[in-house]
Amino acid sequence: MKKLKAFVYGNGQGGFGDFIKSLKIYIEYSIKNNNRIVILIDNQAIKNYIIIKKKYKYRNETYVKFLKTHIILRNKDLNKNDKECKINLLKYIDFNKSIYDGYNLKMKQIDNIPYDCIHIRLGDKYGNKTFPSRRSDRVKGKNIDSIIKNIKKNNITKFIIVSDNKEIKNRIADKYNLTKFDINILHLDGKYIKNVKYNENDIIDNLIDYIILSKAKNIHSIGFSSFSLTANWIFNNKIINY
């Protein structure tokens, strides 16, 4: 019997962006090799908020070989392209109702006006205890204020700011009159999230941030981030990197 290769996302296997990116790679690999697609989410932080479509749920098969997030991202045979997505990920997974309901409530605060998103990913070096790497610097000396000014120049679009750092998020939002939502920013890896105090609403808020990015007209991404890169794939909006 041909060994079944199943995708599993568990604790200590990266943040939400890594999850989506590796899932996309796994699905592409499975389609190419005519393998059955089997998905298991074992990340304690998000497992209750992501729906796996019935056809693709792991059902306790005894002959499964698991392909984990980092195995996929680091395997050159699997990871042919981690920057683009040509498949409909919502065919395989979706967010549960609480995430969409929370998104809709926040959109009512801005009268459901079409909006752009500015996503600032400073890097784990600047994050909180849920961000595992003390060395990751994604902005590398970029002049964030100058970039924001250029984005807003001659642009009357409503802007929502999302970031991995609350201090920079608040400063930029207040200085440039951007819409912000007050949340407890978390790195959604079940291994690291244990290091901070959080509740279920915090998990929901962070996933709502992802939907906010994915439903924006344009994502203005400052500092490379799989969070904004993969959010761009969900509803196929435009991402502009700075």
Mean pLDDT (the chain, rounded): 91
Say which amino acid occupies 178: L
- Give the pLDDT confidence of 118-135 residue by residue, as tens digits: 999 988 676 666 666 566
34, 68: one domain: yes
pTM of the predicted protein model: 0.93
Average pLDDT over residues 140-155: 90
Single residue among 46, 65, 95 that ends a domain in this structure: 95
- Give the pLDDT confidence of 71-81 residue by residue, as tens digits: 999 998 889 89
42, 136: one domain: no
104, 156: one domain: yes
- Give the pLDDT confidence of 196-215 residue by residue, as tens digits: 888 999 999 999 999 999 99
Single residue among 65, 95, 125 that ends a domain in this structure: 95
Q: How confident is the model at residue 194 (pLDDT cuts 50, 70, 90)?
A: confident
From the list 22, 71, 47, 38, the residue with the least C-alpha distance to 188 is: 47
Distances (CA, A) of 176 to 13, 118, 148, 200: 36, 12, 8, 31
Q: Give the domain extent around 159.
A: 98-241
185, 197: one domain: yes
Q: How many domains does the chain have?
A: 2
Burial 25-58 (b: 16+ CB within 10 A, else e): bbbbbbeeeebebbbbbebebbeebbbbeeebeb
Token code pair at residue 161 = 């700011």
Single residue among 32, 65, 95 that ends a domain in this structure: 95
